[in-house]
């Protein structure tokens, strides 16, 4: 059958391999047929509870079979799945619910208990709860949402919206990147092609579905009829145990996980006879760790990748180039147009550097509810008009260099966006969260290089009342209200008011320089 | 520093932001998402210094660390 929509990724497997294992979740597993039955049941519930085509449905679940069922069922009824990282705290969940007007939420018991005290509860119509929670008129138990199945007549087309993936930019709060069914399918086709995925593959899913590359493990495996092996915890010993016990053939991760796994495997002697490949994305692995990976994992193929949520995936370094181009982000993935442009001189050639631009069918539909920022980030590049005409491209904000053989190397960001552990963080997001403590007046946040995490967040703050200011209280406030990767590793307490520019704005570059000089002393 | 249940609960609450009203000795801290990957290193460092023990990488697993009960048992065995 032809695969046009996200739901087709599941159903095309029912003709030839319905009994094949689709998802392994610890001791539980489901076949494609069992998964499809659950998806049909949940889709029925969604239709009966007035979830219409285009409605956003929030999914705030730990990695589980239920998260897979929920994601596909939402797409099945033409609604838009919004998977929210479970590392996010209640305040980020509330932000997403408000930002894209979520009316239906699927959540675990712990989240449901927290939500009872939140004022967003009044904005939601229906909440499906997986796991125990006290009852509430709006709450439906997961099991009850699967109680019956009826035929669903709800046509879905491939240019329709399928997903919002929330990610940050250089300013402001996280934005929902709008992906169509076509974006997700073309992404899966491209990635599965260069990874040579097939139905015998078992791929580890340790990255969240709220992250484009995490979602790609699901789409690529279902495209080829393989098996996705869920790994909800990041501990190196647990990841290694799953790789061995579940005969995993492909392992995708981000740099901090490789650093920790390498440390762990250097003192263990573990073999991975079934592991065929590793993939990295979300930043650069430190070279002294990267060079160890082939030996530690039994000489698998290693694919180094680069992508941005706005265009799903962009480049990869083929494994046969690993030794001679180690650390490069490679070249365009199949069916993606990747260009390097110097905005004054035009398209770059070997030896030159410029901004990476991405064109083609993986380019997303922009940011939810934010046409101004969409217009800035997605636009026509006049240097490319002879190739692309009036087609819009995504401006990555990443400066890359082309080497003499045409391979790309990441150089730096062109803006102040912070990237920690593969997560994008805007300084404004951190500053707003810290300001919400009402303990500070001025706040400036910035990224500081970190070997393991890429960058970590630091902030400089001016206390609102210096006689009553307690740094520990501010740190605890951040722990409670911000996801771990966003929490400042260092808080510089500024003595007196911060320097300002002639127009009265905070002089950010100077403040950052003074704060970093101080910590270097 | 000394290691005991009360001190550890204070640590989980004050340093790792766990709502200790919402957990008991059997609550799965990592599996159910009360703690995330960033907290592992901090927790291990805390246990090593407060209980004066050394924890090897292979001991950093869910069997030993996923709940308050498991952590107490693990530290008890290590200090015997």
Domain ranges across chain B: 5-79
**What value does the mean pLDDT take over residues A299-304?**
97
> Does domain A8-226 fall into CATH 3.40.50.980?
yes
The alpha carbon of residue B78 and the mean position of all alpha carbons in its chain are separated, in whole angstroms, by 14
Query: What percent of chain A has a predicted confidence (pLDDT) above 90?
Result: 83
Smallest CA–CA distance from A113 into chain B, residue: B22
Q: How far apart are CA A212 and CA A195, in angstroms?
A: 16
Q: How far is A74 from chain B (nearest CA, A)?
A: 24
Q: Give the start-to-end residue ranges of the domains of chain A.
A: 8-226, 301-413, 418-520
Who among B36, B57, B62 is closest to A87 (CB)?
B36
Nearest Cα to A65, choosing from A142, A168, A152, A154? A142
Nearest Cα to A446, choosing from A393, A381, A396, A515? A515
Q: What is the pLDDT of residue A38?
A: 98
Local structure of residue A286 (DSSP, 8 states): P
> Does domain A301-413 fall into CATH 3.20.20.140?
no
What residues in A contact B33, CB-CB < 8 Å? 62, 86-87, 108, 110
Q: How far apart are CA A23 and CA A65, in angstroms?
A: 7
The CATH superfamily label for domain A418-520 reads: ANL, C-terminal domain (3.30.300.30)
Q: What is the pLDDT of residue A453?
A: 87
Would you place residue A107 in the very low, low, confident or very high pLDDT band (cuts 50, 70, 90)? very high
Q: How far apart are CA A258 and CA A277, in angstroms?
A: 13
Local structure of residue A462 (DSSP, 8 states): E
Q: What is the pLDDT of residue A521?
A: 62
- Mean pLDDT (chain A) is 94
Query: What percent of chain A has a predicted confidence (pLDDT) above 70?
Result: 100
Would you place residue A68 in the very low, low, confident or very high pLDDT band (cuts 50, 70, 90)? very high
Q: How far is A264 from chain B (nearest CA, A)?
A: 6
- Mean pLDDT (chain B) is 90
What residues in B contact A264, CB-CB < 8 Å? 57-58
Read off the pLDDT of residues A307-334 as tens digits, 9 standing for 90 and up: 999 999 999 999 999 999 999 999 999 9
Please judge whether B56 and A87 are an interchain contact, meaning their C-beta atoms are less than 8 angstroms apart: no
Q: How far apart are CA A422 and CA A172, in angstroms?
A: 18
Residues 6+ apart with CB under 8 A from A269: none
Read off the pLDDT of residues A381-391 as tens digits, 9 standing for 90 and up: 999 999 999 99
Confidence check: pLDDT of A188 > 90: yes
Q: How far apart are CA A90 and CA A95, in angstroms?
A: 9
∠ Cα A298 A254 A245 (to 5°): 45
∠ Cα A290 A222 A45 (to 5°): 125
Smallest CA–CA distance from A481 into chain B, residue: B17
Confidence check: pLDDT of A354 > 70: yes
Q: What is the pLDDT of residue A233?
A: 87
**What value does the mean pLDDT take over residues A250-265?**
93
Q: How far is A449 from chain B (nearest CA, A)?
A: 17
Read off the pLDDT of residues A447-487 as tens digits, 9 standing for 90 and up: 999 988 889 999 999 999 888 899 999 999 998 899 989 99
Q: How far is B47 from chain A (nearest CA, A)?
A: 16
∠ Cα A470 A476 A478 (to 5°): 105
Please judge whether A484 and B36 are an interchain contact, meaning their C-beta atoms are less than 8 angstroms apart: yes
Confidence check: pLDDT of A234 > 90: no
CATH topology of domain B5-79: 1.10.1200
Count Cβ atoms below 10 Å from residue A85 Cβ, excluding itself.
Answer: 21
- Between these two residues, A495 and A72, which has the higher pLDDT value? A72
Please judge whether A110 and B22 are an interchain contact, meaning their C-beta atoms are less than 8 angstroms apart: yes
To which residue do tokens 């023990």 refer? B53
Rg, chain B, Cα only: 11
- Between these two residues, B38 and A187, which has the higher pLDDT value? A187
Q: Are A74 and A57 in contact (CB under 8 A)?
A: yes
Who among A234, A268, A483 is closest to B58 (CB)?
A268
Read off the pLDDT of residues A264-276 as tens digits, 9 standing for 90 and up: 999 888 999 999 9
Burial of A473 (0-12, 13-18, 19+ CB in 10 A): exposed
Confidence check: pLDDT of A420 > 70: yes
Who among B33, B38, B60 is closest to A86 (CB)?
B33
Would you place residue A169 in the very low, low, confident or very high pLDDT band (cuts 50, 70, 90)? confident
Question: C-alpha distances in angstroms, A276 versus A196, A310, B57?
Answer: 10, 29, 25
- The pair of structure tokens assigned to B51 is 């209980």
∠ Cα B64 B67 B73 (to 5°): 50
């Amino acid at each position: 059958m032809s695969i046009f929509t996200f739901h087709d990724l599941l159903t095309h497997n029912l003709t030839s391999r319905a009994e094949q294992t689709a998802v392994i979740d610890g001791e539980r597993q489901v076949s494609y047929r069992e998964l499809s039955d659950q998806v049909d049941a949940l889709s029925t519930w969604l239709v009966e509870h007035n979830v219409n085509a285009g409605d956003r449905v929030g999914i705030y679940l730990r990695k589980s079979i239920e998260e897979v069922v929920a994601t596909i069922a939402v797409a099945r009824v033409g609604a838009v799945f919004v998977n929210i990282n479970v590392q996010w705290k209640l305040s980020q969940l509330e932000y997403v619910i408000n930002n894209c007007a979520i009316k239906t939420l699927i959540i675990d018991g712990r989240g449901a208990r927290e939500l009872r005290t939140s004022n967003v509860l009044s904005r939601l119509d229906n909440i499906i709860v997986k796991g125990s929670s006290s009852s509430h008129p709006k709450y439906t138990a997961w099991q009850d949402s699967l109680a019956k199945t009826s035929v669903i007549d709800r046509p879905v087309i491939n240019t329709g919206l399928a997903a919002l993936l929330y990610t940050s930019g250089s300013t402001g709060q996280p934005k929902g990147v709008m992906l169509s069914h076509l974006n997700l399918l073309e992404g899966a086709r491209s990635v599965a092609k260069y990874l040579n995925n097939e139905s015998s593959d078992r791929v580890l899913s340790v990255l969240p579905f709220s992250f484009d590359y995490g979602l790609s493990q699901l789409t690529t495996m279902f495209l080829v009829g393989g098996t996705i092996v869920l790994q909800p915890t990041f501990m190196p010993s647990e990841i290694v145990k799953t790789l061995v016990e579940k005969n995993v053939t492909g392992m995708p991760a981000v740099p901090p996980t490789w650093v920790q796994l390498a440390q762990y495997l250097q003192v263990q002697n573990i073999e991975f006879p079934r592991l065929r490949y590793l993939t990295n994305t979300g930043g650069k692995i430190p070279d002294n760790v990267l060079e160890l990976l082939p030996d530690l994992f039994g000489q698998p193929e290693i694919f180094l990748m680069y992508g941005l949520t706005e265009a799903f995936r962009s480049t990869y370094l083929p494994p046969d180039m690993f030794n001679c181009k180690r650390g490069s982000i490679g070249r365009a993935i199949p069916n993606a147009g990747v260009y390097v442009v110097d905005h004054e001189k035009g398209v770059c050639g070997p030896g030159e550097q410029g901004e990476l631009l991405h064109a083609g069918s993986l380019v997303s539909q922009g940011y939810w509810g934010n046409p101004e920022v969409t217009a800035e980030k997605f636009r026509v590049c006049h240097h490319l008009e002879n190739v692309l005409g009036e087609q819009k491209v995504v401006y990555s904000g990443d400066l890359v260099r082309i080497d003499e053989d045409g391979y790309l190397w990441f150089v730096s960001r062109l803006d102040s966006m912070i990237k920690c552990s593969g997560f994008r963080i805007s300084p404004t997001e951190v500053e707003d969260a810290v300001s919400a403590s009402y303990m500070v007046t001025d706040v400036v946040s910035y990224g500081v290089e970190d070997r393991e995490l890429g960058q970590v967040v630091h902030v400089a703050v001016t206390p609102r009342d210096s006689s009553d200011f307690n740094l520990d209280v501010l740190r605890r406030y951040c722990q409670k209200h911000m996801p771990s990767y966003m929490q400042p590793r260092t808080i510089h307490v500024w003595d007196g008011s911060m320097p300002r520019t002639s127009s009265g704005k905070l002089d950010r570059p100077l403040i950052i320089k003074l704060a970093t000089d101080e910590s270097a002393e | 520093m000394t290691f005991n249940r009360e001190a550890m609960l204070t640590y989980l609450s004050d340093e790792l932001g766990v709502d200790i009203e919402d957990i008991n000795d059997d609550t799965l801290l990592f599996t159910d998402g009360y703690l995330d990957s960033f907290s592992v290193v901090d927790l291990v460092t805390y246990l090593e210094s407060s209980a004066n023990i050394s924890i090897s990488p292979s001991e950093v697993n869910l069997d030993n660390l996923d709940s308050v009960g498991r952590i107490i048992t693990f530290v008890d065995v290590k200090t015997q």
